[in-house]
Amino acid sequence: MKKTILITGATSGFGKAIATRFAMDGNDLILTGRREALLLELSAELRKKYKIEVLSLCFDVRDMEAVELAISSLPEEWKEIDVLVNNAGLAVGMNPIHEGIIDDWERMIDTNVKGLLYMTRFVSPLMVERKKGHIINIGSVAGKEVYPMGNVYCGSKFAVDAITKGMRIDLVSHNIKVTQVAPGAADTEFSLVRFKGDKKRADAVYKGFQPMVAEDVAEVVFYVTTLPDHVNINDLVIMPTAQASAVNFFKV
Ligand code: NDP
Ligand code: 8X3
């Protein structure tokens, strides 16, 4: 049966691929992000290609009032959200802690932790009311292991790991599934954002091994929503075959 799926950060990378995967299955989508032109372009493409309904909402997940307004002003027919994918996130900079750039830290914590919390706070009551729903948080291998100069990014993803567990405990009595999907290296806009547009440095991250592509992660996010009502994947780590841990890669 067709569902309504809300995906944050749908303008690129995992979010865009997740949107496309759910569209292929005939589901209706609420897509969010800050780059409005990309959101509108993707929405139009998916509507046309898959004959689905798409609502695009342009806002910054760090802006609590904007998140509240976006969700509270959803038209009635869009309020029955079956799946929330908390995907919007980023790494900014890679410095040792004593040289860290405070603004980079704020951006990561505000987006990866507080943005995810704001979205959850305003969407989960709609699920509680219906006694039904599935929240999928995109964590990271960086939320399982800390690596050199990952400090604050890793901290933000460890927070996602802990918050996911807490959400599951609080929502279990409301029949709401909570899943974390924690990927390793995937070639998206992630490294370009982390290295502030330095394409050479971003490309170097994926040299010598085959990273995942966004569609690999999207397939798994889709998969966790296909299980029977009484079954939930709590936590799923997905890596390139050539990556054994946060820092161990088989490179040629
Ligand atoms: P991308 O940079 O390709 O996509 C990030 C998405 O997040 C964009 O759509 C961006 O949209 C959105 N976003 C970022 N900041 C905000 C904000 N303040 N408000 C709203 N939307 C925002 O990277 P990925 O697809 O790789 O990243 C998606 C998630 O996956 C992140 O949480 C990341 O930490 C995680 N991850 C990535 C891995 C990788 O190797 N690529 C591995 C493990 C986890 P816009 O700019 O339009 O706002
Ligand atoms: C992104 C993966 O290893 O670059 O979360 O932190 S990593």
Q: Report pLDDT digits (tens) over 101-113.
A: 999 999 999 999 9
Q: Does 154 contact ligand 1 (Cβ within 6 A)?
A: no
Separation of alpha carbons 236 and 250, rounded Å:
22
**CA of 107, closest atom in ligand 1:** 18
Residue 230 Cα to ligand 1 middle (Å): 30
**pLDDT at residue 100 in the model:** 98
C-beta neighbour count of 204 within 10 angstroms: 12
Question: Quick one: angle between helices 214-224 and 13-24, nearest 10?
Answer: 50
Burial of 197 (0-12, 13-18, 19+ CB in 10 A): exposed
Q: Catalytic residue numbers?
A: 153
**pLDDT at residue 6 in the model:** 99
- pLDDT tens string 201-230: 999 999 999 999 999 999 999 999 999 999
Q: Which residue has the tokens 């609420």?
A: 30
How does residue 94 score in pLDDT terms, banded at 50, 70 and 90? very high
Residue 184 Cα to ligand 2 middle (Å): 6
**CA of 8, closest atom in ligand 1:** 21
Residue 143 Cα to ligand 2 middle (Å): 9
**CA of 191, closest atom in ligand 1:** 41
> Ligand 2: which residue has its CA nearest to atom 4?
185
Q: Does 62 contact ligand 1 (Cβ within 6 A)?
A: yes
Ligand 2, CB cutoff 6 Å, lining residues: 140-142, 150, 185, 246
Ligand nearest to the CA of 188: 1
**CA of 246, closest atom in ligand 2:** 3
Separation of alpha carbons 104 and 114, rounded Å:
14
Residue 92 Cα to ligand 1 middle (Å): 11
Strand partners, 31: 7, 56
Which of 45, 154, 36, 134 lies closest to 89, judged by CA? 154
- pLDDT tens string 121-148: 999 999 999 999 999 999 999 999 999 9
Ligand nearest to the CA of 145: 2
Catalogue all structural domains in the chain, each as residue range(s) with its CATH number. 4-238 (3.40.50.720)
pLDDT > 70 in the chain, percent: 100
Which of 49, 179, 175, 159 lies closest to 115, judged by CA? 159
Per-residue three-class SS string for the chain: CCCEEEECCCCCHHHHHHHHHHHHCCCEEEEEECCHHHHHHHHHHHHHHHCCCEEEEECCCCCHHHHHHHHHCCCHHHCCCCEEEECCCCCCCCCCHHHCCHHHHHHHHHHHHHHHHHHHHHHHHHHHHHCCEEEEEECCHHHCCCCCCCHHHHHHHHHHHHHHHHHHHHHHHHCEEEEEEEECCECCCHHHHHCCCCHHHHHHHCCCCCCECHHHHHHHHHHHCCCCCCCCCCEEEECCCCECCCCCECCC
> Ligand 2: which residue has its CA nearest to atom 5?
140
Separation of alpha carbons 194 and 205, rounded Å:
11
Question: Quick one: angle between helices 116-130 and 151-171, nearest 10?
Answer: 10
19 contacts 10 by C-beta, under 8 angstroms: yes
> Ligand 1: which residue has its CA nearest to atom 9?
9
> Ligand 1: which residue has its CA nearest to atom 44?
140
Burial of 136 (0-12, 13-18, 19+ CB in 10 A): buried
Q: Please indicate, yes or no, whether the overall pTM of this predicted structure exceeds 0.95.
A: yes
Residue 213 Cα to ligand 1 middle (Å): 14
